[in-house]
């Protein structure tokens, strides 16, 4: 979207530079990157990021400032997903936007929001290597004048708190096999917090320990990266009762995974939010079916979304399960990135962190695609798509 930088990048691009870029990231982190990295970063003006941030701040305020919403959201948290000593407000919030062409230019449209940690380590590394290797020192990878040291301090405080990083664990299901493993490696490099499998957690009385290098290490704080629907899908379970009065703090608790999610969208009133309803509140679908999406509330990474739902799709959902789905207006996002393979859509995630009484956008995450959605399954065999750094000018 910064035309001069886009043209310069496209003119100077070679496959060899892309291969060197991917190799540099893998060498830096010491692990393979098993999801697709786009050939190009995105170049966005700071004014656009400010517009997105203003919209995100208003959306968050509408939710966290609404007692009726908070009560309704609390009621959808499943049994067994309310940790003792959890967060009174989420530490991390992500807000995803796509773009449409409006009367005065590009306008943002909400895709999703979630109170779950994203790739705070990996995205910093991705942005820094993109800027350095491709030669764009005039751009920034953080928002609002935040320096690298500021970023490390702010995210480090959010993850580690007042504790020794050796007593904080990033908890995941079989972390060595997760596609997000590069972020786990970056988190350990940047903040000294190591990833452990949830099965390696052990309780002794009120204390929690993690098995590490043949010993039990005390755990004072959990940086939770376990996605509840993956927990159910794999048949795994937490090795202790989350509600037990253990001497441990939580960041990214599973309760907020549900409280701020697709469940939130029907409560929002903002120009950037597509028309959205709980399926149980809709007696029939108005208009053409291809103008709507059917989404399960608590799936992750686009799982279970149905485009242009049919009567058969709706009939397959039991009446008492309809409250677990939303119908959302389908938005045709405008391709905004000029690539050698044609204009490509961009989705920008604002990665936010609680900073005192406010939420601060610290860095953007980009995803490029030309399929129905941004996920890998919808962009197979395509080039100049995938995860990308956002370089801010």
- For 319-339, the pLDDT digits (tens) are 888 888 999 999 999 999 999
pLDDT at 194: 98
The DSSP bridge partners found for residue 43 are: 391
Q: Are 80 and 242 in contact (CB under 8 A)?
A: yes
Closest-CA residue to 97 (of 300, 274, 327): 274
Predicted pLDDT at 334: 94
If one compares 198 and 303, the residue with the highest pLDDT of the two is: 198
Q: φ and ψ at 324, to 5 degrees?
A: -95, 15
pLDDT value, residue 286 = 78
- Residue 297's pLDDT is 86
Span 216-259, pLDDT tens digits: 999 999 999 999 989 988 999 999 999 999 999 999 999 999 99
pLDDT tens figures, 297-321: 877 655 688 999 988 888 899 988 8
Per-residue pLDDT tens digits for 136-183: 999 999 999 999 999 999 999 999 999 999 999 999 999 999 999 999
Q: Rounded CA gap, 205 and 326, in Å?
A: 42
């Amino acid at each position: 979207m910064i035309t001069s930088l886009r043209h310069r990048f496209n003119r100077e691009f070679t496959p060899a530079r892309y291969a060197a870029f991917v190799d540099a990231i893998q060498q830096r982190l010491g692990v393979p990157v098993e999801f697709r990295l786009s050939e190009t970063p995105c170049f966005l003006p700071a004014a656009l990021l400010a517009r997105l941030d203003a919209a995100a701040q208003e959306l968050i305020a509408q939710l966290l400032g609404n007692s009726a919403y908070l009560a309704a959201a609390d009621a959808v948290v499943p049994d067994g997903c309310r940790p003792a000593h959890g967060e009174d407000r989420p530490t991390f919030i992500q807000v995803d936007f796509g773009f449409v062409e409006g009367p005065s230019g590009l306008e943002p449209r909400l895709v999703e929001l979630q109170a779950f940690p994203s790739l705070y380590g990996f995205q910093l590394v991705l942005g820094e290597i993109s800027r350095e290797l491709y030669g764009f020192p005039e751009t920034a990878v953080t928002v609002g004048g935040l320096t690298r040291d500021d970023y490390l301090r702010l995210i480090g405080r959010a993850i580690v708190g007042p504790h020794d990083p050796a007593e904080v664990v990033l908890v995941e299901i079989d972390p060595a096999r997760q596609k997000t493993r590069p972020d786990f490696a970056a988190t350990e490099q940047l903040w000294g917090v190591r990833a452990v499998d949830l099965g390696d957690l052990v309780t002794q009385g009120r204390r929690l320990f993690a098995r590490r290098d043949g010993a039990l290490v005390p755990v004072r704080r959990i940086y939770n990266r376990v996605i509840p629907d993956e927990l159910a899908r794999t048949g795994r379970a937490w090795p202790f009762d989350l509600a037990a009065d253990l001497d441990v703090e939580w960041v990214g608790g599973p309760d907020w995974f549900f409280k701020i999610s697709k469940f939130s969208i029907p409560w929002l009133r903002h120009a950037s939010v597509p028309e959205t309803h709980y399926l149980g509140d809709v007696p029939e679908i108005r208009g053409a079916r291809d103008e709507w999406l059917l989404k399960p509330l608590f799936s992750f990474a686009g799982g279970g979304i149905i485009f242009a739902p049919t009567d058969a799709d709706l009939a397959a959902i039991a009446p008492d399960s309809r409250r677990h789905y939303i119908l959302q207006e389908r938005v045709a996002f405008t391709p905004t990135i000029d690539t050698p393979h044609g204009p490509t859509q961009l989705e920008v995630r604002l990665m936010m962190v609680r900073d005192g009484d406010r939420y601060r956008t610290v860095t953007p995450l980009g995803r490029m695609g030309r399929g129905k959605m941004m996920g890998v399954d919808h962009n197979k065999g395509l080039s100049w798509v995938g995860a990308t750094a956002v370089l801010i000018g």
